[in-house]
Amino acid sequence: MNELEILDPRFRAYVLPNAPLVKLGEGFAWLEGPVWFADLNCLLVSDLPNDRIMRWTEDGGLSIFRKPSGFANGHTRDRQGRLIGCSHRHRCITRTELDGSITVLADHYDGKRLNSPNDIVCRSDGTIWFSDPHYGINTDYEGGKQTAELPSALYRLDPSDGGLRVMADDFVGPNGLAFSPNERLLYVAESGPQFAADPERHIRVFDVLDDGERLAGGRVFHTVTPGFADGFRVDQDGNVWSSAGDGVHCIAADGTKLGRIKVPFTVSNLTFGGRNRSRLFICASHTLFAIYTNQRGAQQP
């Protein structure tokens, strides 16, 4: 298949030469925040500027899951399987309860409003980690212009007591994030100032210390080009599958770019799902794609 670019022999074992890149839907504004529900055999994904969350199933195709969505962006699931999400407009983290009601888990830090939570992940201890850049309140397009009250930061929320802590704040635009399979590493995209002509953009890697109480390090792990890493997922072997301007880049834990799945539009976010977590769902601007791989996503949603 011409959708694959092999840059390192290791990549051959992770992809399927006969698996096509399939278009699942188009006509969106800008897709982000995909999350897979294996129990429901469905994908949820944010159509961010259209203020809605879409649902996709193999048999039923696409439908609206929630509108308005509060300009929802990133999603994940907690250890009880509940939907956890980021709202640009309402500047908060939410949890959708099993009865369908929505609980705001965090919207302030130190007496000031969060900016526009962007992407989110849960650790196996139940803590919720999310990035809070200014992107969503910089424009009316992705949530509505509002005044920032806090610097960009990476937060850790303990939903058992509501405790919210800044884990790192030396960021210009923290964005996607994911733990390594053993949760000893945390990858965080830094996507730079929104309106700069040539912003510095890369994925950083932190050491997770003291059972998730502290981060150290934060060196540049990999610089994605062309485009940049908005969101990414880690597979069961610890490779990072990142969004890029020309598709999905697979990056080994040693930082080597192993290969690429070519996608015709800029990719923002992606997630593993489907049968055995081996199908990659790809948010590419206004179009949703999927492709089966020969690799499985890590257990994290």
Binding site for Mg ion (CB under 5 A): 118-119, 175, 230-231
Least distance in Å: CB of 73 to Mg ion?
A: 6
Least distance in Å: CB of 1 to Mg ion?
A: 28
Residue corresponding to tokens 């990133």:
74
Residue corresponding to tokens 């210390």:
209
Considering the complex, state which of residue 118 and residue 300 has its C-beta at the smaller distance from Mg ion: 118
Phi and psi at 276, nearest 5°, equal: 60, 25
SS3 87: strand
Considering the complex, state which of residue 11 and residue 130 has its C-beta at the smaller distance from Mg ion: 130
SS3 173: coil
Phi and psi at 168, nearest 5°, equal: -160, 140
Q: How far apart are CA 65 and CA 288, in angstroms?
A: 16
Least distance in Å: CB of 82 to Mg ion?
A: 21
User: What count of other Cβ atoms lies within 10 Å of the Cβ of residue 146?
Assistant: 17
Considering the complex, state which of residue 51 and residue 230 has its C-beta at the smaller distance from Mg ion: 230
Least distance in Å: CB of 74 to Mg ion?
A: 6
182: CB partners within 8 A, 6+ apart? none
Least distance in Å: CB of 26 to Mg ion?
A: 20
Considering the complex, state which of residue 14 and residue 71 has its C-beta at the smaller distance from Mg ion: 71
Considering the complex, state which of residue 46 and residue 278 has its C-beta at the smaller distance from Mg ion: 46
